[in-house]
Amino acid sequence: MSKCLEKLIWAIDRLEAEVEPSELARIAELIVQPMTGPWRFFHTPEHIFEVGGNKDAIEVLAALFHDIVYVQVDRSINFNVSYYITPVTKEVNKQLKIRDQSELSADATLDMVMLVFGFVPGEVLNPFAGQNEFLSALVAAKALEPFLNPEQLLQIAGCIEATIPFRSAECGVTVSQRLYDRLQAITNLFNLSFTDEEMRETMKKAVRIANRDVISFAYQSSAHFLANTWNLLPETNHNLTCCGFYTVRDYRVALLKMEGFLSYLKPEVIFRQFEGHPDDRTYQRWETTAKYNLEIAQLYLGCKLAAIALLEALSSGLGLDVSLAMMMGELPDKATQGVRLESFFPEIEKPYEPKIGVEAEVLNLLENGRAKSNYNTDLENSPLATFMVKIVGFDEMRYQCDRAKQFFRENLDADDFISDFNPIVTEIVVDSILKLFDSRKATIYRYYNITSELKSKPQTNSPGRPFLSND
């Protein structure tokens, strides 16, 4: 709250607007409440502070608001935020829709924000094509409308529109150029006092904020890129927040969605450029790094999917709701005894040697771990996948990942999937699972023996405690 309020005060002062401190405190609360919701692990206050930077007031304000609405993550819209949204949208067939023109009051600010996004009254909003950004920009514009002029509101809305991620050029026209053309048309339609130079500067602000929003793809460390990616898992896979209780299938579904998304994503649609900003060298470096990080992530997730598929196939006879902790053991900071599946893996005499740099890096990530994420969903390292890679190598893991996807689609049953797995791997994993179960059985027997010893002792009444014959 204090940092958000500090940034609001700084930005409003830079724009030479007059706002009562109590109003800024109310806006800070409006922003922070949804950003600190129970499902926010990536799209948090820290994220919006980073995206806004600290040099430009418009960028700071746009960043503060740009993730205030995230329906897929929050599963709802914050009550205070909905104050600004309900007059404009309604729910129809479980989808959000901009109200028809006949239901909307005359509102120049709303008209301007719709035009920024290319939306019209009556349009059904697509959760993956600007819904959240449009609603966030609407909240920003309406919350700041009493204090800022239309030109400033247009700039903020434009910067938020630019954060709609992963869009391709259409008919040779880039995303940034399309936004620039819309902003120009809006300026003419509403008779705004924007010079062409100011409009181009606005586009540079929009490009900066859009690139900072996805800058983790350009991290030089793939370990930190994966850690950042891992923060997204519990946001859209809420079962993973029940650490120790989520199932093998829950974990697999989360990995499969992430692997599918990163495999589909093209590095050339991640970052933005407008009229040489950022410069070609920087832009190319980001794109090259993103391409490498995606390659690392795809192989890394593919190995983890092959490993979890074997575990899911082996546990399928026990039911669909078998917890990952049951099959692998508790996380080290949760377990009292510290016994986990990998405790029973034997030493590998001649482990697989990586053939190329990508394989070497992925093996290192699997064995030694990603950087630490914001939420402890699982281990940073991947002992089962590491063990499998060291026995069969990456080509076999790629093959098994493809088969795993057939298994997940139910085109292969569990027995068929297991039968074509390396028998050495399968035998060791099954044996280790049995030993893990035996260690639990031994613990239960220990408690049973303690109970038996207590029952064999002479029973006496304790003060205030009645004697029970079966105590």
- pLDDT tens digits, 195-237: 999 999 999 999 999 999 999 999 999 999 999 999 888 888 8
335 in a structural domain: yes
Q: Are residues 174 and 318 in the same domain?
A: no
- Which of 163, 250, 140 is closest to 211 using CA atoms? 163
Q: Are residues 179 and 277 in the same domain?
A: no
Classify the phi-psi angles of 393: left when phi > 0, otherwise alpha if psi is within -120 to 50, otherwise beta.
left
- Which of 349, 350, 339, 347 is closest to 441 using CA atoms? 339
14 in a structural domain: yes
Per-residue buried b or exposed e for 441-454, using 16+ beta carbons within 10 Å of the residue's own CB: eeeeeeeeeeeeee
Token pair for 363: 């093996």
Q: Are residues 294 and 406 in the same domain?
A: yes
Residue 249 CA, chain-centre distance (Å), reads: 18
Q: What range does the domain containing 102 cover?
A: 2-213
Mean pLDDT, rounded, for 374-378: 74
Which residues, in sequence order, are CB contacts of 402 under 8 Å at separation 6+?
Answer: none
Q: Are residues 126 and 266 in the same domain?
A: no
Least confident of 198-202, 233-237, 318-322, 327-331: 318-322
Please give the Cα distance from 90 to 94 (Å, whole number): 10
pLDDT of residue 65: 98
Q: Are residues 276 and 402 in the same domain?
A: yes
- Percent pLDDT > 90 in the chain is 76
Q: Are residues 209 and 268 in the same domain?
A: no
357 in a structural domain: yes
Token pair for 294: 């995606």
Mean pLDDT, rounded, for 441-446: 73
For the purposes of burial, counting CB atoms within 10 Å of the CB of 91, is it exposed (0-12), middle (13-18) or buried (19 or more)?
exposed
Question: Where does the pLDDT of residue 242 fall: very low under 50, low under 70, confident under 90, or very high at 90 and above?
Answer: confident
**Mean pLDDT over the full length of the chain:** 91
pLDDT of residue 334: 52
Per-residue buried b or exposed e for 347-365, using 16+ beta carbons within 10 Å of the residue's own CB: eeeeebebeeebbebbbeb
346 in a structural domain: yes
* pLDDT above 60 (res 460): no
* pLDDT above 80 (res 420): yes
Please give the Cα distance from 260 to 330 (Å, whole number): 28
* pLDDT above 90 (res 416): yes
Mean pLDDT, rounded, for 182-202: 94
Residue 14 CA, chain-centre distance (Å), reads: 33
Grouping H, G, I as helix, E, B as strand and the rest as coil, residue 85 is: helix
* pLDDT above 50 (res 448): yes
Least confident of 63-77, 240-254, 319-333, 452-466: 452-466
Q: Are residues 263 and 207 in the same domain?
A: no
Q: How far is CA 166 from CA 18, 65, 86, 181, 227, in A?
A: 37, 20, 28, 19, 20
Token pair for 211: 């690139």
pLDDT of residue 245: 81
Higher pLDDT, 450 or 28: 28
224 in a structural domain: no
At residue 117, φ and ψ (nearest 5 deg) are: -90, -5
pLDDT of residue 347: 93
Q: Are residues 355 and 425 in the same domain?
A: yes
Q: The tokens 């980073």 sit on which residue? A: 50
Report the number of distinct structural domains present in the chain.
2
460 in a structural domain: no
Supply the pTM of this predicted model. 0.89
Please give the Cα distance from 427 to 436 (Å, whole number): 14
Q: Are residues 170 and 276 in the same domain?
A: no
Q: Are residues 190 and 256 in the same domain?
A: no
pLDDT of residue 338: 67
pLDDT of residue 447: 61
**pLDDT tens by residue, 257-306:** 999 999 999 999 999 999 999 999 999 999 999 999 999 999 999 999 99
Which one of 213, 239, 256 terminates a domain? Answer: 213
Higher pLDDT, 374 or 438: 438
112 in a structural domain: yes
Mean pLDDT, rounded, for 80-103: 95
Least confident of 150-154, 239-243, 462-466: 462-466
At residue 170, φ and ψ (nearest 5 deg) are: -120, 120
Mean pLDDT, rounded, for 439-461: 66
* pLDDT above 50 (res 466): no
Q: Are residues 206 and 253 in the same domain?
A: no
Q: The tokens 């349009």 sit on which residue? A: 123
- Which of 202, 218, 216, 188 is closest to 274 using CA atoms? 202
Which residues, in sequence order, are CB contacts of 436 under 8 Å at separation 6+?
Answer: 327, 329, 339, 340, 341, 343, 344
464 in a structural domain: no
At residue 274, φ and ψ (nearest 5 deg) are: -145, 115
